[in-house]
Structure 1
Amino acid sequence: MTDPSAAILSSFSSALASLVARAAPSIVSVHSHRSRASGFVWKPGLVVTADEALAEEGEISIKLADGTARSGSIVGRDHTTDIALVRFDAKDIAPIKLLPEVPALGSLSIVVAAERGAPAAALGTISLTGGRWRSLRGGDIDARIELDVRLRHSHQGGLALNAAGEPIGMAVLGARRVIVIPAATIDRVAARLETHGRIARGYLGVGLQPIKLDDGIGAMVMSVDKTGPSAAAGIRQGDVIVGWNDEKLSGVRALLRALGPDSVGSVVDVAIRRGGEPTRVKLTIGERPEA
């Protein structure tokens, strides 16, 4: 007589293997100057991978599931969201269609990655979910998804699947946890990288220090880039920024969060205090220079 428990486990195991096999052909290894990562075909001839796992220089090789290798080139990379886009000659590989939704807390997730081209997989659970958040490097991430799973460094850039086998994002190593960069963030950032090669960031050209005021919070200008937007607007060292477009400043981080890609070129009304006296300036947000 067949053990019912064994039958259930066998069925469950076969289902997981089927999900991995379905995603594996679109998963690749990305080799760059002694560094290895995983990636997946986002569009024909374009691979999304983890920026942090990608070397800063040197040639790039894309190793496919069949063991063949193709040369690649960086289209663009965004350190703030950990997304890099690589072009290679393999338009015959079917791209992955990402699902723009957040899985339920506690549900199963499979990370499908590659190790020297060969498919690799790990099973875990969705350990934390939440709304939009900002990375330590200042990138806007559309949803917080954390995984309770073991992830090798070379498996960063692998594809995270939900329990139905649908791709929900890219698995990367965060601070003491595995994070999924969600579909909405990948599609938004990768599309800009494909078009422009980089993600533009707003630039004020000042160094700021948060300070407490009797009636709220301010940001003291500690330094001014002489060729930057703030200098052109007449902002000086020692000024205290207290408002932004008729709203009180809630903190330096909130101010920096307003400097996204869409802010470049916009004109803002900045309320400042200079020597204790209120004044206002019009400032045109610039584009942050490349490091």
Structure 2
Amino acid sequence: MADTMTSSSLEQLSAAMADAVAAASRSVVAVHAARSRASGFVWRDGLVVTSEESLPDEGDLAVLLPDGGKLRANIVGRDPATDVALLRVEGQAPSPIAFDAAPVRTGSIALAVGSQAGTALAAAGVVSLVGPAWRSLRGGDIDMRIELGLVMRRSVEGGLALDASGRAIGMSVFGPRGRVLVIPGTTVDRVAAQLAATGHVPRGYLGVALQPVKVLPDGIGAMVMGVDRDGPGAAADVRQGDVILAWNGEPVRSVHMLLRALGPASVGTVVKLSLRRAGEPVELPITIGERPAD
């Protein structure tokens, strides 16, 4: 009797997971470029979200649909800081997905759903970590840190992450050291809406090239290696050879620290830079600008 009950429970769990994948895969697509294969999902009518990191810098893109159809796609905008890219497809795309804001629990079952040439792919595991909001190494604000304990094919990156009930919680991507991370639905919605409206997400800009240097006796600074003559640094009288020691009174721990501080909210704010210039201390206010389009 016990064996029968266990078998029945496993069959029910298996069927529920398969049903969740089947339902989500109706909105999941494959994103193909000349040298890359990734997944994506329909975010709004005619608009597909995918992993920014998986997209090439140039070249034609195609979106392969669950029904075997193929549509051309153009990049509306991309945000490397949050790993979100938005595509517009030429033709009728499947129905959009809706994210669920229900809490995500550590230890619960998790699914990653992608597409390979229009055929659904899935990986199963658990939510291995749930943490607070964080900022990526490129300065992107991510609303929650979610890590998945599962093995995911490279082509599934950019697809949907599902919770135990089959609700879409975000986009599954690869993080540092091959960890599978989830860009939460709230982050995807916020960034994709900005990309749809303007084609980009504003980022702060100092207009200086920086290199880490050791500062005696045991500190770290950021040496200014170059200054954009039309940038905020030049307007604030930052000079080549200056060493930035502190940012609004907080000691510099790395160049990445400064880059992470240049998020969307930083544009237009005034920051006090504590410098060392030719051995002498200097303090300069600098108004952070908006990074120009490359």
Residue 226 to residue 179, structure 1, CA distance change in 2 (3 Å): same
Task: State whether residues 267 and 290 of structure 2, in contact with CA within 8 Å, keep that contact through their aligned partners in structure 1.
Answer: yes
> 1:187-266 maps to which residues of 2 (within 5 A)?
187-206=189-208, 207-212=210-215, 218-245=221-248, 247-252=249-254, 253-266=256-269
Instruction: Summarize deviations over 1:133-169 as a string: whole Å, max 9, x none.
Output: 3334343322221112121111111100000111111
Percentage identity across paired residues of the two chains: 51
Aligned to 1:13: 14
Match of 2:285 in 1: 282
Higher mean alpha-carbon deviation, 230-239 vs 214-223, is at 214-223
Q: For residue 241 of structure 1, report the CA deviation from its aligned partner.
A: 2.9
Q: In the TM superposition, what are the counterparts of 1:1-291 in structure 2 within 5 Å?
A: 3-90=4-91, 93-100=94-101, 103-174=104-175, 175-206=177-208, 207-212=210-215, 218-245=221-248, 247-252=249-254, 253-291=256-294
* 2:46–2:88 CA contact under 8 A, matched in 1: yes
Q: Distance in 2 between matches of 1:61 and 1:27?
A: 14
Q: Return 5+ residue gaps in structure 1 as ranges.
A: none
Shift of 1:273: 3.5
Distance in 2 of aligned mates of 1:35 and 1:242: 41
Equivalent pair of 2:204/2:266 in contact (CA under 8 Å): yes
Which segment is superposed worse, 215-224 or 15-24? 215-224
Letter in 1 for 2:206: L
The two structures have a TM-score, normalised by structure 2, of 0.88
Instruction: Give the Cα separation in 2 of the matches to 1:205 and 1:70.
Output: 40
Secondary structure in 2 matching 1:289: coil
Separation (CA, whole Å) in 2 of partners of 1:275 and 1:53: 44
CA contact (8 A) 2:138 2:260 kept: no
User: How many residue pairs get matched?
Assistant: 290
Secondary structure of residue in 1 paired with 2:15: helix
The secondary structure found in structure 1 opposite 2:29 is strand
**C-alpha deviation, 1:239, in angstroms:** 2.5
Quickly say closer, same or farther: Cα 1:5–1:36, change in 2 above 3 A. Answer: same
Q: SS of 1:110's equivalent?
A: strand
In 2 relative to 1, CA 216–52 (structure 1 residues): closer, same or farther, beyond 3 Å? closer
**Structure 1 ranges of 4+ moved more than 6 A:** none
- TM superposition shift of 1:101: 5.3
Q: Determine helix, strand or coil for the equivalent of 2:18.
A: helix
Kept after mapping to 2: 8 A contact 1:270/1:283: yes
| Structure 1 residue 14: Cα displacement | 1.2
- Distance between the aligned counterparts of 1:122 and 1:180, measured in 2? 14
Amino acid at match of 1:205: G
Alpha-carbon separation, structure 1, partners of 2:237 and 2:95: 54
Amino acid of the residue matched to residue 233 of structure 1? A
SS in 1 for 2:99: coil
Distance 1:209 1:61 in 2: 41
The whole-number CA distance in structure 2 between the counterparts of 1:4 and 1:269 is: 67
Q: For 1:242 and 1:279, how far apart are their aligned partners in 2? A: 10
- Unpaired runs of at least 5, structure 2: none
The letter of the residue matching 1:280 is E
Does the 8 Å contact 1:172/1:181 carry over to 2?
yes
- Aligned equivalents of 1:230, 1:101: Cα separation in 2: 44
TM-score w.r.t. the length of structure 1 is: 0.89
Paired with 1:55 and 1:218, the residues of 2 have a C-alpha distance of 34
CA shift at 1:78, angstroms? Answer: 1.6
User: Alpha-carbon deviations, 1:65-106, whole Å to 9, x = none?
Assistant: 111111111101122222111111456632111124552111
Letter aligned with residue 127 of structure 2: I
Moved more, 269-278 or 137-146: 269-278
On the 8 A contact 1:30/1:61 being kept in 2, the answer is yes
